[in-house]
Amino acid sequence: ATICLAEGLCEGGELHTIEVNPEMEEMITKALAQTDPDKQIYPHFGDAREVLLELSDKIYDLAFIDADKKSNLAYYHLIFEQVRSGGLILVDNVLWKGKVYDEAANDADTRLIRDFNDAINADKRVEKLILPVRDGIMVIRKK
């Protein structure tokens, strides 16, 4: 996803990506080394909460949350103030294979995703929509 997002970077743009799984570091580093050297891609490895705090001086046009579902709302709150007005926050897997609409589905992940979706729906600081592609992508535009 990082390399695809980097294709849309404007001149001078930066892309910061965070990976918690240390086993992925070597693969990610090798893949990024094969990208256009003019693209400014900065990989960070570790807990996203800690990394986001370290990057708290950055302002973003776009943030993409594709992480552990239990932390989506925490990541949203951490990144929100760093996204400029008019900027976007994208969140993956918000339909969770359609389980969010299945009243019989009450596993922990499904409940957490429903809670996240409800919280964003109630947030008056944003405009939002869900693209029903694959597992669903929520597009959140900060007012």
Q: What is the pTM of this model?
A: 0.91
115-140 pLDDT, tens digit per residue, is: 999 999 999 999 999 999 989 999 99
The domain over range 2-142 is classified in CATH as 3.40.50.150: yes
Q: Which percentage of the chain shows pLDDT scores above 90?
A: 83
Cα 16 to chain centroid, rounded: 11
Spans of all domains in the chain = 2-142
Length in residues, the chain:
143
Mean pLDDT calculated for residue range 53-67: 94
Q: Residue 86: enclosing H or E segment and its boundaries?
A: strand 83-92
